[in-house]
Structures are given as structure tokens and as C-alpha cells.
Amino acid sequence: MENEVVSKNFIEQIIEKDLEEGKCTKIVTRFPPEPNGYLHIGHAKSILLNYGLAKKYGGQFNLRFDDTNPMKEKTEFVESIRKDVEWLGADFEDHLFYASDYFDAMYEGAVKLIKKGKAYVCDLSADEIREYRGTLKEPGKESPYRNRSIEENLDLFERMKNGEFEDGSKVLRAKIDMASGNINMRDPVIYRVARMSHHNTKDKWCIYPMYDFAHPIEDAVEGVTHSICTLEFEDHRPLYDWVINELEFENKPKQIEFAKLYLTNVITGKRYIKKLVEDGIVDGWDDPRLVSLSALRRRGFTKESIQMFMELSGVSKAQSSSDYAMFEYCIREDLKMKCNRMMAVLDPIKLVIDNYPENQVEYLDVENNQENEEMGKRQVPFSKVLYIEREDFMEEPPKKYFRLFPGNEVRLKNAYFVTCTDFVKDENGNVVEVHCTYDPATKSGSGFAERKVKGTIHWVDASQAVKAEVRLYENIIDEEKGKLNEDGSLNLNPNSLVVMKECYMEPALKDAKPLERFQFLRHGYFCVDTKDSKEGNLVFNRIVSLKSSYKK
């Protein structure tokens, strides 16, 4: 439609205005993670937003590691972050950068500020600096070292670089305004002495820049036009602009803040996840109950479902939470037309068809996906002994139970009508075997219409069944009680993982590969685990159940 109105978020409106006014000709955005942990679902919003804006306006997207704090950073995190960004489809091409690439430029920038009388070396301790800073209601006090001469500051700063001073004994501070209403502008620390080996620059430096000083320099050097970040950096924007202007960069990036993605009842805090890992409650940062991107990938979520979720969540300045049920809705929507619908029995009992010929095996034609004819058909074996779900038989059923019970007839999915005639219990009184007879005239697809049955159950041929382990996941947080207990500890769901070791599935699943996804009839969507599944020892993770609680 020619007159169709396309809704644009507030960031797109700013970018289009800047383009129209000639403030920039090529849009450059970036995703700047600190490599101090694994990315989670909230980071996906920033990645896809920054990449999406660059792509929409024919610009450039940079991946830049903000590695200015070697105390917490590891090469392991660099590699996992890069893998996550690539998996989400955010193509940074050859625009991969490190903040540490600019350490020389940052040092020169600091020297420039000293020469302009805009920075000074301060001997106050961290506690004293905090005390001198003042409060939201009271202005700060000037450091007794604030008025050192430019020459003395240049000398001291060079000696800091050369390693003449102990860690924490001296810092370089920007000289701005100790009475500013914005505490971030009260002579913030921009460099500190820290003898730490860096994953990229090794032992070249013993002084490191602070994030608020480094970040605007990185953006300016890379030609970033729009520095998209989350709302907690809004109060830091005046300092960001101050650094850009005082260092007289020609390229002046514009910082724009948006609201973070919050997902109900999930754990994203690094210290909480670290404790779960250390206590052995989860089996690592990629445990499928977590919402790190590596965990979501292992569980079987797709990049398309995450993209859909981000679009539904939207971009705004207002803080809000997205419902986890909406996230599950997105993966169901993405998989429903893509996945083969297979038969798998998770809690098996035997079904013996007494009047079916011994040693006979039929191969039945089964549609791979009833909603997507293009996915074709497969053949499924059928013989005298099958596995069915334990819940599909009851000795004494309640009203409106339409599955197997003595005397009742049901349809075996894609096969025949069977009538329950008997059952066998073990010494503990548990039903282990159900007996029935079948009607050969009722074969699926034969056009048989003499009688109707209300129940249809799925099954797996026992002679060719593939044995597998299945892991059923729920939220690791008890959703009814909320995320935290009164003492601040996590309120964990004791049923967040149920492992079923004796599951049987149709033989077509024998050669399923890691991350291959399927719908198991009635049970949900599953994928082959990347960590524990091996040849001869299949392990499936449930991605999501079939039932949705999401209200569109």
C-alpha cells in the first residue's frame, strides 16, 4: 500500500533526522561488551538493535571488546561473546576491535587534557575521593592536589605509566566541576595504577583508563555516529560529551539511551549464576535452564525466535518487563512449520496386540508435518509389541478419560483402532504391560468410517525403538513465589530439571545430530544436546512445551 504508515522507534527517528540534516552520511553503530562473562538474553536486544540500525540505513556495525579492566577479563569470554554475536546473525564483517587497541591514543588523550589544564594527578585514596565527592544534596570538595602545575602533572603521570608508584596510590582525574549537580562530573577518575597482565596487551601497561574516559574515545576513533546504550548511562552522557569535546575529535558520536530488556523471573546476574555453577546446581554457564545466549542455543532456541521476541518487546525509554511466556510463544511460532513431528514415548509401558501376526512388520506412511506438506512423508515401523505412554492407560479411569482402559477402543496414531482386553502388573502393583486386539479394517488412510473413537494415542514400535535420555526443563526460579527469598537467596524451583533415562523413540531419530530440532507429539519441541549427546547415547533437551500461556 502506497500510503502505509511505518512506525519508527525513537532511535530511528533521531537517526533519520541526523541524516536529513547532514550531520552524518554513513551510520556506524557498535556493540561494546566487556569480556568479563557470558552474554545473556538482555544483551541480544543491544546486539540486534545496533546491528539492525546499521543494516537498515546501509551503514556499518562494529563488534568492540571493551577490555579496559584486565582484573575480570578472560580470552574464554572473548571467544564466547564472538560466537554469540555471530550466532545471532549480527555480521560485523572485518569490523572487530578491542578497546585495548586504543590504549596509546587514550594515553595521548590524557596527556592532552593535562596540557590543557583539564586533568590532574591526585593522591587521595579511593575512600577519600568518595568522601570529597559530596552527595546529591551537597557539593563536593576540591582535592588538595587539584591545582598542581601542568608540568608537575605531566611528570607524575609519566611516572605513573613507568611504574614508579604503588597500585592505588595515585590516579588521574578530569578537572571539571566539584559543585556540579551531576556527580559524574565532579572530577571523575580517568586513569588508575594497576599492575595487571592484560589478555591482549600483556604487561605493556601498568596504568589503565576508566570506562567513562575510554568509551567515548573508542567511539570517536572508530567513527561511530550513534552510540546506543542502556538507560543507566544517561547520567554519564555529559561526561561522554565532555571527553569528545575536550579532546577535539572531528567525529562527535551521539549517545542515545534505551530501556534494557527485563524478562520476568529469570536470572541474569553474574554473581547468582556463578554461585549456581559453583554449587553444582547447574552444569555450567550454558545450562539450558539459564538465559545466557550459550544456554539458549544449547537448549534449542533459534536466532529467529530471539529476533521475533526483540521485535515484539520493542524499543523505548520506559522501563518494562517482558513475559517469559511471550519468549516461549516466539520459539513455538518459529518451529511449528520447520520441525518434523515425531513419536517419542517418555514414560513407557508395553502394548501387546494379541491378534497381530507374529514377526510381521508394517511400514506406515506418516506426514512429517501436517501443517507443511512440503516437508514430505516418512515410513514408520509397526508390529505386535509397541511402547505407549504410561498415562495413556488407566485401570479405573475418571469420566471424560478417552484413552486406554479395559474394554475401551482408541486409535493408534497413523495406524489402527485397538481395544484394551487385559493388563499385567509387576510385584509392586505397577502396570507394565497392556494387552489389546486390533481391527485390520481400520488402518489409517483406508477410508474406514464405520465407527468413531474419541481417543488417539501415539506409540513407538518396540522392536526398532531407539532408546534415549530426555531432559524436561522448567524455569529455574519458582515463578509463584518470585525470584528472591527474604534473605536475598534465589528461590529455586526443585522441578526445574527432570531427567528421564528410559525413553523410546521411532528409529528415524537414531542419527539425530546435535542441535537438530523436532516436535515430539504431545510433549513439545526438543533438540539434541550439544554437550552430553553421543553416538549410542542420545540426549534430548525440551526447548518448550506445546501448551502456551501467552495472551497476544
Grid coordinates representing 188?
Answer: 571523575
434 is a domain residue: yes
292 and 179 both lie in a single domain: no
416 is a domain residue: yes
pLDDT value, residue 70: 85
551 is a domain residue: no
223 and 242 both lie in a single domain: yes
pLDDT value, residue 549: 64
What's the total number of domains in the chain? 3
The number of residues making up the chain comes to 552
290 and 383 both lie in a single domain: no
457 and 386 both lie in a single domain: yes
For residues 527 and 161, what is the distance between their CA atoms, to the nearest angstrom? 53
302 and 253 both lie in a single domain: no
430 is a domain residue: yes
For residues 203 and 205, what is the distance between their CA atoms, to the nearest angstrom? 6
409 and 518 both lie in a single domain: yes
Grid coordinates representing 75?
Answer: 580470552
pLDDT value, residue 495: 92
Contacts of 276 by beta carbon, 8 Å cutoff, 6+ apart = 267, 282, 287, 290, 476, 490
406 and 502 both lie in a single domain: yes
453 is a domain residue: yes
52 and 189 both lie in a single domain: yes
* Short-list 192, 173, 194, 193, CA closest to 184: 173
396 and 420 both lie in a single domain: yes
* Short-list 532, 544, 39, CA closest to 285: 39
Burial of 398 (0-12, 13-18, 19+ CB in 10 A): exposed
pLDDT value, residue 1: 39
290 and 221 both lie in a single domain: no
For residues 167 and 507, what is the distance between their CA atoms, to the nearest angstrom? 64
Q: Find the CATH number of the domain harbouring 311.
A: 1.10.1160.10
The list of the chain residues with pLDDT below 70 reads 1-7, 549-552
19 is a domain residue: yes
203 and 245 both lie in a single domain: yes
According to DSSP, the residues that pair with 431 across neighbouring strands are 425
β-bridge pairing 119-122 and 171-174: antiparallel
283 and 381 both lie in a single domain: no
Range of the domain at 476: 341-544
pLDDT value, residue 154: 98
Q: Among the three residues 238, 258, 278, which one is the final residue of a domain in this structure?
A: 258
Quote the pTM value: 0.90
pLDDT value, residue 2: 44
pLDDT value, residue 6: 53
For residues 100 and 214, what is the distance between their CA atoms, to the nearest angstrom? 9
549 is a domain residue: no
* Short-list 477, 511, 497, CA closest to 542: 497
Q: Among the three residues 303, 335, 367, which one is the final residue of a domain in this structure?
A: 335
Q: Among the three residues 290, 310, 335, which one is the final residue of a domain in this structure?
A: 335
For residues 62 and 438, what is the distance between their CA atoms, to the nearest angstrom? 64
C-alpha distances out from residue 3 to 6, 10, 323, Å: 9, 21, 34
Q: Find the CATH number of the domain harbouring 181.
A: 3.40.50.620
pLDDT value, residue 3: 45
Q: Find the CATH number of the domain harbouring 510.
A: 2.40.240.10
pLDDT value, residue 8: 83
60 is a domain residue: yes
